[in-house]
Amino acid sequence: MSLLCPIDFRYGRPIMKDLFGEEARLQRLLDVEAALARAHAKAGNIPKTAAVAIGGKANTKSVKVDRVKAIEKETRHDIMAVVLALSEACDKEAAKYVHLGATSNDISDTATALQLRDAIRVLDEGVRELRDIFINLAKKHKRTVMLGRTHGQAAAPITFGLKLAVFATETDRHRERLSEAAKRVVVGKMSGAVGTGAALGERALEIQRLVMVDLGVGVEEASSQIVGRDRYAEFVAVLANLAASLEKFCTEVRNLQRNEIGEAAEAFETGQVGSSTLAQKENPVTSENVCSLARVVRGFVVPAYENVPLWHERDLTNSASERIVLPHAAVLVDDMLAKTADVFRDLRVYPDRMRTNLDALKGQAMAESVMIALVGKGMGRQDAHKLVQAAARVAREKGVHLREVLAADKAVMKSLSAKEIEAALDPENYIGASVEIVEGVAKRFA
């Protein structure tokens, strides 16, 4: 059978894809069934020997994916197929107690909690790694002066290290969001068809608690038939936010790699081809790939939120989209994290080109510095702004360095000496607290 979804053959790392594969999903469903049996035994509802027997068969060696699929073809019910396959694998006495008192979503939602818990752990490691790459680059380039740009136009000098410190702190905020969301996202339930726990008997709440403690996930304190889908919507929204930041970081690389800027670039390996016809091309293809996938991940936000308002205690309109949204969002964001890490770990940085681009502006990027220097000599801020703005315009129109126009202005020369003008026009003297900021960020995450 030919593969259709690009995730099957093009995108995603095995470590994350394996968490959402058929066998991994089945194993987590079986883990929940085994935990339910153990909880019943502790509550005195079933023999301990039965719980041990069920737990011994609750694995994909005893309950095969193919057998579950065959049963589902008959029953047209995925969880009932798992229940029947597990019951087949158990001896007759133990089989009587499989799935006792549970509804399908007790099993499936709790299994999803296990998957999301493991997915968040993998994502957290990826985010931490990327943050540390940014910090290492920031420390290396804390004094590497470059042009800061706003509105796509020349603004004032910054350091490349400061840019990366900004990225590092933003990345770490995503670690915080993942951690904070986990306690709300990694939640299971064991409360039956409408949330009352009636089929579990008088000790229903204890059974639910025992199951979740056994599995190491949180408890849905009050549920309908399902765990609240606001939880899954939050998870997808957190991933979409992370994806947006990854696109931001990679968009910066794409812009800095433009020929007319040329200040940084993705690594380009020997034998790599940029274009099938334009032999000179070295395209930022990995960064572009991240940006492309970010658009897909953000697209998952809408169905995730539309799955929240289900009818009464539940309907099935969430089911199909969740099977697509949750694993795809996790797999793609993990893939994007790894690719972004690769981009910045091997980034080519060109400090000389950064300085060349600054110098090519003939002092225009230092207009604020001159204005502040004039204010420091007693000129009013608004007057200084107006004076420097006019001087910068004249310099641009004549194609000369701002220094020439300033030196010919009596009001400027009355306040500043030629040496002071020169100092104000030196980008190295106007990076503010950039170095201290980078060092502070690095120290925080040391």
**Residues with catalytic function:** 151, 275
Torsion of CA 317, 323, 324, 326, to 10 degrees: 110
Q: Which of helix, strand or coil describes residue 187? A: strand
* Among 97, 43, 133, 191, CA closest to 341: 133
Q: What number of CA atoms fall less than 13 Å from residue 80's CA on the CB side? A: 7
Q: How far is CA 248 from the centre of its chain?
A: 12
Q: What are phi and psi of 44, to 5 degrees?
A: 80, 15
Structural contact between residues 303 and 237, judged by C-beta atoms closer than 8 angstroms? no
DSSP-assigned beta bridge partners for residue 154: 149
* Among 199, 177, 144, CA closest to 244: 177
Q: What is the b/e burial string over 352-370, where b = at least 16 CB atoms within 10 angstroms of the residue's CB?
A: ebbbebbeebbbbbbbbbb
DSSP string, 151-166: TTEEEEEEEHHHHHHH
Look-up of token digits 């999301």: 116
What is the Cα–Cα distance from 29 to 41, expressed in whole angstroms?
19
What is the Cα–Cα distance from 5 to 20, expressed in whole angstroms?
14
Structural contact between residues 160 and 431, judged by C-beta atoms closer than 8 angstroms? no
**Token code pair at residue 117:** 């818990």
Terminal-residue alpha carbon distance, the chain: 50
Q: How far is CA 229 from the centre of its chain?
A: 20
Structural contact between residues 28 and 204, judged by C-beta atoms closer than 8 angstroms? no
Structural contact between residues 98 and 83, judged by C-beta atoms closer than 8 angstroms? yes
Q: Which of helix, strand or coil describes residue 79? A: helix
* Among 419, 424, 357, CA closest to 391: 424
Instruction: Return the ∠ at Cα 256 (arms to 251 and 260), rounded to 5°.
Output: 130
* Among 249, 250, 251, 244, CA closest to 329: 244
